[in-house]
Chains A and B, each alone.
Chain A
Amino acid sequence: MKILITVEKDWVSPRFDLTREVLIAENKGEKIRTVILPRPSAEELCSFILTENVDIVVCGGIEETYYQYLLWKKVKVIDRVIGPVKEVLKRVVQNRLREGKIIR
């Protein structure tokens, strides 16, 4: 299971299309790496997600077009999440994260 979380200052970034940094976690969160994106772009982030074969995307606000596109590509999207990335990752690994969740 590969998880991608959009990041801004160690929190889930509020907007998918303005994201400049992502965290990619594998092996139930044991293997983690951070990727700095060349520029914020929802289209480029979508193709990056597909290239990386990501299974779950956790993000803040995302436009319906990209949400539907990712779903269509069989990527699960948990959006409108607010909270520190570390805690969010823990929850998503434990399958305890849902859309619109606020974690402090």
Chain B
Amino acid sequence: MEVKGNGFSLELKEVLESIPYGVAFLDDQLRVVSINSLLEVLTGYQSEKVKGLEVNQVIKTNVFKELKTGIKKEEKFIIEGDIIDVNRRKIPVKLIVKNIFQGKRRWVILVVEELPFWKEKIPFLPQAEIDFFLGNSPAILKIKEMLPIFAASDATLLIEGETGTGKDLFAEVIHKLSKRADQPFIKVNCGALPETLLESELFGYVKGAFTGANTDKPGMIRLANGGTLFLTEISELPLNLQVKLLTFLDDKEFYPLGSSKKVRVDVRIIVATNKNLKQMVKEGKFREDLFYRLNVLKIQLPPLRERGDDVLILADHFLNEFAKRSHKKIKGFSEGALKVLKFYKYPGNVRELRNIIEYAVHVSSEDLISEKHLPEYIFSSIKEEIEGEKKIEKAEIEGIFKGSTERPFSWAEFEKKKIIEALISCNGKKSEAAKKLGWARSTLWRKLKEYGLE
């Protein structure tokens, strides 16, 4: 399709590509005629494949009804709503709709503009203020301090952290706080695609580059022009693509597949990994030169188990969120549940805590979340850990008697610790704790008095 004017003629696709937002060109029945590359990235559907489909199928918005009504009444209007994108994120958007008349025929231009993400409720974030990471632990306070510094810089940033620590969120916050906030934020998961596909996704290709390349594809790097390119799971990047990425980082230029013309772009690169890149370099699994090129700015996101009482702050936040969503009036956690939540080590970090709270809210029909509402696996994991600790302690004690450890051993301290553990595991019930310790109830009472644990 062509757009013609006084002395000019342009391909529709070219016009749509020139707009720095996701754009759909629709017919009068709101069926897709064409969408631009940015909308392709946002929705995960290719323009050619969605031709003729009702736009609601492609841009999964909650305001389609309003859009349909508005289009009949007004020539141009704006609606705010949300969409669900290819990455299963609910994104707050502004839909700018404009009718275009060509004789009797009507066409519709629909522009999708992402709204600042803190306008919508996002887990991890308190809504009243823009405090991006919940928690007051020293580890998280340090990160909060670094946030504006990293956002102000344009240097490559490496985010390390275990799974579920919030690497994606951190990258997005950095982008939204940077001067590039109004430009695209493109995320590519290096571990999610096979090597050849990843190369064409990143660097794009020209028509005829290989069988099936029927049109030019700009590639994610070009789509991120002016904005931020976030490469997650960077450790999974195949070695030959590591070379290509390194060259791009040095020159800010690259050749799309099958093209002899260099493309120059201005993007900020943020990468993330849950692996130890330095160790991978030592093992020859990651290029040393690329590692140093990426490691300009570096941040290590702390695992939840090292964030102390942040667990409780986050648990409370998630409880409020899920209780509100499920229309349940849950006031908080029982003492026992809080102890369990605090004691558990969360290998899946904040994401796991969130899932645990969601589960608890779903299964609870009371106004307090207690231990019985928490998933069973937590308890078996805690039990394993306590047993593991017992084994270690036993070995230490044996060591003391053999005189092979340097740590001074205090029997009183050891006994006190065992009593506390027994009381925690029995939810404070003394008779059960005494049974667990193999003592008579009176012995436990006496020991509690002795150690000041009453």
- Evaluate whether A60 and B60 lie within 8 angstroms (CB atoms) in the complex, with A102-B49, A102-B53 already known: yes
- Minimum Cβ distance to chain B for residue A77 (Å): 10
A15 partner, pick from B52, B60, B123, B351, beta carbons under 8 A: B60
Tell me if B76 is interfacial: C-beta within 8 Å of chain A.
Answer: no
Number of interface residues, chain B, beta carbon within 8 A: 28
A68 pairs with B84, CB closer than 8 A: no
A64 pairs with B89, CB closer than 8 A: yes
Tell me if B44 is interfacial: C-beta within 8 Å of chain A.
Answer: yes
Instruction: Please encode chain B, from 369 to 396, with 1 for each CB lying within 8 Å of some chain A CB and 0 for all others.
Output: 0000000000000000000000000000
Q: Which of B228-243 contact A (CB under 8 A)?
A: none
A61 pairs with B60, CB closer than 8 A: yes
Tell me if B355 is interfacial: C-beta within 8 Å of chain A.
Answer: yes
Contacts of A17 in B (CB 8 A): 62
Tell me if B358 is interfacial: C-beta within 8 Å of chain A.
Answer: yes
> In the complex, which residue of chain B has the Cβ closest to the Cβ of A62?
B88
Q: Which of B50, B57, B325, B362 has the most CB of A within 10 A?
A: B57
Chain A contact residues: over half helix, strand or loop, or mixed? mixed
A67 pairs with B88, CB closer than 8 A: yes
Instruction: Please encode chain B, from 31 to 54, with 1 for each CB lying within 8 Å of some chain A CB and 0 for all others.
Output: 000000000000011000110110
Number of interface residues, chain A, beta carbon within 8 A: 24
CA gap between A61 and B52 in the complex, in Å? 19
B355 pairs with A69, CB closer than 8 A: yes
- Evaluate whether A14 and B60 lie within 8 angstroms (CB atoms) in the complex, with A47-B362, A63-B90, A79-B88 already known: yes
Contacts of B86 in A (CB 8 A): 80, 100
Tell me if A94 is interfacial: C-beta within 8 Å of chain B.
Answer: no
- Minimum Cβ distance to chain A for residue B297 (Å): 27
> In the complex, which residue of chain A has the Cβ closest to the Cβ of B50?
A102
A65 pairs with B362, CB closer than 8 A: no
A82 pairs with B57, CB closer than 8 A: yes
A62 pairs with B84, CB closer than 8 A: yes
Contacts of B123 in A (CB 8 A): 65
Q: Can you give 18 contacting A-B residue pairs, CB < 8 Å?
A: A14-B60, A17-B62, A43-B325, A60-B60, A61-B88, A62-B84, A62-B88, A64-B89, A65-B354, A65-B358, A69-B358, A72-B355, A80-B86, A82-B50, A82-B57, A100-B44, A100-B86, A102-B50
6 additional contacts (CB under 8 A) given A14-B64, A104-B52: A14-B60, A46-B362, A65-B123, A65-B358, A68-B355, A82-B57
